């Protein structure tokens, strides 16, 4: 693959800092719950510039565009399914503007979140339709000047593959993370080991892969250790939430402190992650402390699970499905009927 | 691949074996087997309500527990729920004829701005399976959809689902509106969705946060029982 802004940075540095939260940051700017954040790309471009400027000023090497819900199936909720091109292009253009004005190399990553629909055969969404929707979004992000596509918060392996195919069609480098929020797996039951294995089988593998969102910082690092255990050389992404959401004074507040996220960032690097950042609840204040910690604290040994829980709190489930220790599927009492 | 010795003829099993077999089939999401088993039990003179509770609901309870415990995940539960739905489709008209008891009525939907309906659908199916009447108002619901439908249907429970951190605060908007209209205590309000937790449920004024479909059913039953007790005491 030809070089791009992200692959260049990856070749020069042994860790990169991404941005933090998009949704929770927009709420603090007055976004009303239920409304589409993507509409702000054209209705309130200054607020989106401010959203992007935050991580750039905090020292992030990469930030995501405000286009998480920018597929036709998601925009349909706001009767904006015909504005996929316009809204995603605007998201990337504003990003390009802020990145280019930063005076250093900052990667504009075009965020592509899940379609929100269930893939066949469990649900109505066919692989081809998923590819089509992601491709439409990918082309617009590319037009707007995104350096890479950033597929995130995916649960279903087929949806991840569909996004990979869309990136291929758009001839764009891409990264892809899944959300491991159900007993250490994605809600579809996919484990960290499953994802590590799958990315190597893709015809168009990502520049980097990993985990975002999910439950807390501890769970996310257990997932990273799962990727690392697969032995893959591919860069790993760790973008965890700043703790657990709480409702305080009329808005959502995440309970992870900047100090906790600084510890998380260093532990993520020790666990094998190269691209490190936050997700929901991660503010610029968190990012500043994360940057500082990554710059000043030396690399350590790969942490044990105990060390992770001591530093960041307990896991949401005893097993993440990769250690063979999890609860077993129930045995059939009767015989299976054939034919 | 058919292994003759493994073939089971459902109609040759006695009631107890058949019910055990149906629980296994439900667990494995075998829709046609569930339809066949449901019909056999009815032909043997079982009351529709007994088929529902002793075979289907009992089977889905196991599925729900294993979902809760991180053994089964969404794909398996969707398959199981679809199999159960097929059995329910046979039983529903019969249940209506026989006047089988319903435990309560729930209006359920995903909040405004949110398209995710997996969790909501699972809760709806499990609640139906447990004997509740469920009115599903779909995705992307503004506050007036919840309150309008709940009033129209004389519902006991309002269930709200959200899967995004950008949409979960909308639940508070709905509850605040209920308070403003003085109807908050007319309903049991249950909330659920991946980014939520118990504390969040409490702080926005819901009656309960339900971490999964199985918990939703247990919680709804418990709160309905309390509501009845209160009504009788008063």
- The domain that holds A18 is classified in CATH as 3.20.20.330
Is position A225 within any domain?
Answer: yes
Mean pLDDT to the nearest integer, A305-327:
89
- pLDDT reported for residue B65: 82
Residue % of chain B over a pLDDT of 90: 53
The region of weakest confidence among A88-102, A202-216, B100-114 is B100-114
- pLDDT reported for residue A277: 97
B1-37 confidence digits (pLDDT tens): 444 456 789 999 999 999 999 999 999 999 999 999 9
Judging contacts by C-beta atoms under 8 Å, the chain A residues touching residue B164 are 23
Per-residue pLDDT band for A220 (boundaries 50, 70, 90) equals very high
- Structural domains in chain A (count): 1
B177 touches chain A (CB under 8 A): no
A57-76 confidence digits (pLDDT tens): 999 999 999 999 999 999 99
**Residue A291 to chain B, least CA–CA distance (Å):** 25
The partner residues of A258 in beta bridges, in order of sequence, read: none
Please state which CATH number belongs to domain B105-233: 3.40.50.280
Q: Helices H, strands E: what count in chain B?
A: 10, 5
In order of A331, B38, B93, B110, B137, the CA distances from B59 in angstroms are 14, 13, 21, 26, 26
Instruction: Show the CA angle centred on residue A218, arms to residues A18 and A16, nearest 5°.
Output: 20
Whose structure tokens read 């667990």? B27
8-state DSSP, B168: T
Interface probe with B: pick from A31, A34, A215, most Cβ of B within 10 Å: A34
- pLDDT reported for residue B127: 87
B43 touches chain A (CB under 8 A): no
Find out whether A113 and A68 touch, Cβ atoms under 8 Å. yes
Residue % of chain B over a pLDDT of 70: 97
**Residue A282 to chain B, least CA–CA distance (Å):** 13
Whose structure tokens read 């063979």? A324
Whose structure tokens read 């899940």? A114
- The reply to whether residue B113 touches residue A35, judged by beta carbons under 8 angstroms, is yes
Is position A3 within any domain?
Answer: no
Judging contacts by C-beta atoms under 8 Å, the chain A residues touching residue B55 are none
Report whether pLDDT(A247) > 80: no
Is position A259 within any domain?
Answer: yes
- pLDDT reported for residue A250: 66
Q: Of A25-29, A33-37, A211-215, A275-279, which one has max mean pLDDT?
A: A275-279
Query: Residue A250, by phi and psi: left (phi above 0), alpha (psi -120 to 50) or beta?
Result: left
Closest CA to A207 of A242, A168, A246: A168
Pairing status of strand A275-278 against strand A16-17: parallel
**Residue A311 to chain B, least CA–CA distance (Å):** 22
The domain B10-98 is classified under which CATH number: 2.40.50.100, 2.40.50.140, 1.10.1240.10, 3.40.50.2300? Answer: 1.10.1240.10
Mean pLDDT to the nearest integer, B167-188:
95
- pLDDT reported for residue B1: 44
Find out whether B122 and B72 touch, Cβ atoms under 8 Å. no
| In chain B, where the domains are located | 10-98, 105-233
| Structural domain harbouring A71 | 12-312
In order of A105, A217, A221, B191, the CA distances from A225 in angstroms are 29, 13, 6, 33
| The two three-digit tokens of residue A312, written as one number | 């960041």
**Residue B7 to chain A, least CA–CA distance (Å):** 5
- pLDDT reported for residue A334: 57
Return d(Cα A224, Cα A196) in angstroms, integer.
10
In order of B58, B92, B165, the CA distances from B62 in angstroms are 7, 22, 30
Judging contacts by C-beta atoms under 8 Å, the chain A residues touching residue B173 are 33-34
The region of weakest confidence among A164-168, B107-111, B149-153, B195-199 is B195-199
Mean pLDDT to the nearest integer, B159-188:
93
Average pLDDT, chain A: 93
- pLDDT reported for residue A339: 41
In order of A24, B165, B215, the CA distances from A88 in angstroms are 20, 21, 39
| The two three-digit tokens of residue B20, written as one number | 């055990």
Mean pLDDT to the nearest integer, A261-269:
97
A76-122 confidence digits (pLDDT tens): 988 999 999 999 999 999 999 999 999 999 999 999 999 988 898 88
- pLDDT reported for residue B233: 66
- Length of chain A measured in residues: 339
Domains B10-98 and B105-233 share a fold: no
| The two three-digit tokens of residue A107, written as one number | 């990667």
The larger pLDDT score, comparing residue A319 to residue A48, is at A48
Report whether pLDDT(B79) > 80: yes
**A31-45 exposure pattern, b = at least 16 Cβ within 10 A, e = fewer:** bebbbbbbbbbeebe
Report whether pLDDT(B151) > 70: yes
- pLDDT reported for residue A262: 97
- pLDDT reported for residue A338: 46
Q: Of A163-172, B119-128, B209-218, B220-229, which one has max mean pLDDT?
A: A163-172
Strands (E), chain A: 16-17, 62-64, 107-112, 148-154, 174-178, 208-213, 236-240, 245-248, 251-254, 275-278
Instruction: Show the CA angle centred on residue A134, arms to residues A128 and A138, nearest 5°.
Output: 140
Judging contacts by C-beta atoms under 8 Å, the chain A residues touching residue B28 are 332, 336
Find out whether A318 and A222 touch, Cβ atoms under 8 Å. no
Whose structure tokens read 């949806």? A159
Q: Helices H, strands E: what count in chain A?
A: 13, 10
3-state SS class at A16: strand
Return d(Cα B114, Cα B86) in angstroms, integer.
28
Residue % of chain A over a pLDDT of 90: 77
Is position A288 within any domain?
Answer: yes
Is position A144 within any domain?
Answer: yes
Q: What is the edge-to-edge ordering of all strands in the sheet holding B157-161?
A: B133-136, B105-110, B157-161, B188-192, B208-209
Find out whether B66 and B214 touch, Cβ atoms under 8 Å. no
Find out whether A144 and A95 touch, Cβ atoms under 8 Å. yes
B6 touches chain A (CB under 8 A): yes
Is position A18 within any domain?
Answer: yes
Closest CA to A244 of A253, A232, A235: A253
Q: Is A279 annotated as a binding residue?
A: yes
Is position A2 within any domain?
Answer: no
Report whether pLDDT(A336) > 70: no
| The two three-digit tokens of residue A166, written as one number | 């869309």
Judging contacts by C-beta atoms under 8 Å, the chain A residues touching residue B66 are 327, 329-330
Q: Is A175 annotated as a binding residue?
A: no
Return d(Cα A209, Cα B55) in angstroms, integer.
44
Residues of chain B numbered 189-208 and touching chain A (CB < 8 Å): 194-197, 199-200, 203-204
A123-175 confidence digits (pLDDT tens): 889 999 999 999 999 999 999 999 999 999 999 999 999 999 999 999 999 99
Average pLDDT, chain B: 89
């Amino acid at each position: 693959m030809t070089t791009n802004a992200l692959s260049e940075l990856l070749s020069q540095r042994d860790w990169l800092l991404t941005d933090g939260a998009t949704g929770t940051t927009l709420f603090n700017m007055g976004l009303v719950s239920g409304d589409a954040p993507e509409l702000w790309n054209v209705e309130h471009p200054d607020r989106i510039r401010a959203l992007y400027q935050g991580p750039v000023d905090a020292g992030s090497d990469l930030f995501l565009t405000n286009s998480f819900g920018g597929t036709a199936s998601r925009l349909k909720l706001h009767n904006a399914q015909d504005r996929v091109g316009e809204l995603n292009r605007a998201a990337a253009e504003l990003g390009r503007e802020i990145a280019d004005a930063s005076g250093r190399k900052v990667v504009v990553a075009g965020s592509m979140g899940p379609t929100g629909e269930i893939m066949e055969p469990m649900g109505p969404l066919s692989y081809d339709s998923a590819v089509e929707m992601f491709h439409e979004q990918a082309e617009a992000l590319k037009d707007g000047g995104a350096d890479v596509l950033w597929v995130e918060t995916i649960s279903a392996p087929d949806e991840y593959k569909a996004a990979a195919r869309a990136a291929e069609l758009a001839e764009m480098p891409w990264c892809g993370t899944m959300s491991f929020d159900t007993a250490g797996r994605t809600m579809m039951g996919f484990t960290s080991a499953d994802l590590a294995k799958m990315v190597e089988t893709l015809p168009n593998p990502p520049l980097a892969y990993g985990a975002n969102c999910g439950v807390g910082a501890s769970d996310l690092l257990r997932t990273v250790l799962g990727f690392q255990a697969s032995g893959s050389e591919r860069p790993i992404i760790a973008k965890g939430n700043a703790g657990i959401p709480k409702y305080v004074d009329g808005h959502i507040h995440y309970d992870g402190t900047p100090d906790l996220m600084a510890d998380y960032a260093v532990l993520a690097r020790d666990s094998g992650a190269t691209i490190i950042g936050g997700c929901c609840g991660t503010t610029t204040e968190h990012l500043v402390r994360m940057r500082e910690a990554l710059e000043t604290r030396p690399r350590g040994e790969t942490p044990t699970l105990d060390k992770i829980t001591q530093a960041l709190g307990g896991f949401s489930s005893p097993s993440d499905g990769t250690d063979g220790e999890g609860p077993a599927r129930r045995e059939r009492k009767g015989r299976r009927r054939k034919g | 691949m058919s292994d003759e010795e493994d073939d089971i003829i459902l109609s040759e099993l006695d009631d107890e074996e058949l019910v055990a077999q149906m629980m296994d089939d439900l667990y494995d999401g075998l829709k046609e087997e569930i339809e066949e088993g449901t019909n056999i039990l009815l032909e043997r003179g079982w009351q529709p309500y007994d088929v529902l509770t002793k075979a289907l609901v009992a089977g889905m309870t196991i599925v729900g527990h294993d979902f809760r415990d991180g053994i089964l995940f969404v794909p398996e539960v969707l398959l199981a729920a679809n199999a159960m739905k097929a059995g329910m489709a046979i039983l529903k008209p019969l249940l209506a004829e026989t006047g089988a008891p319903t435990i309560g009525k729930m209006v359920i939907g995903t909040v405004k701005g949110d398209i995710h309906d997996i969790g909501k659908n699972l809760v709806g199916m499990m609640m139906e399976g447990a004997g509740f009447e469920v009115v599903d108002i779909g995705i992307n619901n503004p506050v007036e959809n919840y309150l309008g439908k709940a009033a129209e249907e004389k519902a006991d429970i309002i269930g709200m689902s959200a899967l995004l951190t950008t949409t979960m605060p909308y639940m508070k908007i709905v509850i605040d509106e209920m308070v403003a209209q003085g109807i908050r205590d007319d309903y049991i309000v249950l909330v659920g969705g991946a980014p939520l937790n118990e504390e969040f449920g409490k702080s926005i004024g819901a009656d309960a946060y339900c971490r999964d479909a199985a918990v939703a059913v247990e919680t709804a039953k418990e709160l309905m029982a309390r509501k009845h007790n209160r009504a009788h005491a008063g």
